[in-house]
Chains A and B, each alone.
Chain A
Amino acid sequence: MRVSMDIELKDVPGQMLLALQPLSEFKANLITVLHHHQKRTPRKTVPVQLVLETKPENIVAIKAKLEENGIRVVRVGEQRFRESINVVLIGHVVHTGIQDTIDEIDKTGFAEVVDLSLCMPGINLLSSALIRIDAVGKEDLQKALDILKEVSVKKDLLMVLPIDIHA
């Protein structure tokens, strides 16, 4: 699985090596390293964000090894937004508050509306929107769609879902 990990390094030479050595030891595949050298924490440490691919059973051991090496592990989480789908909404999409519809998804923290196409052919005619929703995992995506379904019922919008999604 793909995991994101926020760690903090002391600002002294050789720290990055101590951070990477446990990953190599457990044969984790490092996808990205973001080294925020300019953003010191109040503890004077440097925040670093890692994304790595590893077996789920190795995550606890990698974290322990990092801490053994004197590295603070602030957060471990599943990689964000691995799932993505298109949804069509038809109805008075704009007049019923498109921003509010988007906010309902965005405020979950596990899903976001990342793209929106909108067509309003005329006053009193039905508008059509195609939105793309990204979510952390499959379950989160389903939860986001459940929220969207509730909003659509309330706003009398027709929601058209992909065929492979449990509608």
Chain B
Amino acid sequence: MKTVRCSILGFGAIGQGVAEVLLMKKEYLKSIGLEVLVVAVVDSKGATINPEGVDLADCLARKRTGGTVAIEKLTGVEVIRSVDHELVIETTPTNIVTGGAGLQNMFAAFETGKDVVTSNKGPLTLKYGELMEAAKTAGSNFRFEATVGGSMPIINLANEVLAGNNLRSIKGILNGTCNYILTRMLEERASYKDILAESMELGIAETDPTYDVEGIDTACKLVILANAIFGLDATYKDVEVTGITKITPEALEMAYERGHVIKLIGEVSRERIHVAPRLVPINHPLAVRGTLNVASIDTELAGEITVTGKGAGPIETASAILSDLVAIYGNR
């Protein structure tokens, strides 16, 4: 049995999802020879630390009732530097302007020779090259499948499963909130404003939906794909971005009468990175409904490969984090 000592930095929806999945998958992990011991959980107020393994069920309960897991007033970086462990699971909130706590956590993790698995897009969008370099210098593993498309496999699919193929482009729907809004506007013949309000009520859109509806979130995911799959050194500034705020129910209806739906499509190739609403034929593989994400990879040998799945949600995102964890430590 191999013991993996890890910290969970960021205990919002995703961090809690990871804790739940680790509890749920304890027996499975044992069956493949892994014991994942969480030695620290950190949220914005502080940390719970136990070198013998913290009680995840207790952390979840305390977070839900008291709003925090904080027992000791320590930050993520302090935990990384003072607590002995191999893996940092980085699930702090995305900040694409500064990189936020996530960026500091990742650099600190590599400086101390730790592996990192993350769902946090911000640092990767801003400093992909530097982070890869730091990981490489430290000899650390760095995996981030959860940053793009939630549970939907895309980065590992392109780089590992489709290895050897020359990939020409990836096109798809990478933001579930926009897909939900456009789907519902057509179904209900309702305005953007009304459906946005509905999405907020259901928790599908955030209170400040700007990142999603202006196409910024999609653009960040494309930057990660451009760097991780196409080997570019792109940042957010390299993306042409148009969001969905101007789309009208009338436009959706006229398009539908001619056999098309309107979707916010992200597109990345070696030549360009682009986000815009596009007309998609109703029977096209990218014309998925609701909050689903979808991506089509245009490959040299295998033709078009399309994957679809849930792009958000704590458990779904934790599924991608778990698969990265198993990819690093399983079968070793």
Contacts and interface: CB of A to CB of B under 8 A. Distances in A.
Interface stretch (B30-38, B64-72, B141-149, B255-263): B255-263
Interface string B246-270: 1110110111011010110101000
Interface string A122-137: 0001111010000000
Interface in B263-298: 263, 265, 267, 274, 276-281, 284, 286
Contact of A119 (B250, B258, B274): B250
Contact of B246 (A87, A126, A161, A162): A126
Given A163-B171, A167-B278, A86 B260 contact: yes
A117 interface: yes
Interface residues of A, number: 19
Contacts of B44: none
A160 interface: yes
Contacts of B274: 167
Interface in A118-167: 119, 121, 125-128, 130, 158, 160-163, 167
Contacts of B280: 162-163
Contacts of B278: 160-163, 167
A128 B277 contact: no
A163 B260 CA distance: 10
Interface residues of B, number: 26
Given A88-B255, A119-B254, A167-B274, A162 B260 contact: yes
A128 B279 contact: no
A5 interface: no
B254 A128 contact: yes
A162 B171 CA distance: 13
A125 B250 CA distance: 11
A80 B281 CA distance: 25
20 contacts: A88-B262, A91-B246, A117-B257, A119-B250, A121-B250, A125-B248, A128-B250, A128-B251, A128-B254, A130-B254, A160-B247, A160-B255, A160-B278, A161-B278, A162-B260, A163-B265, A163-B279, A163-B284, A163-B286, A167-B274
Interface of B: 171, 242, 246-248, 250-251, 253-255, 257-258, 260, 262-263, 265, 267, 274, 276-281, 284, 286
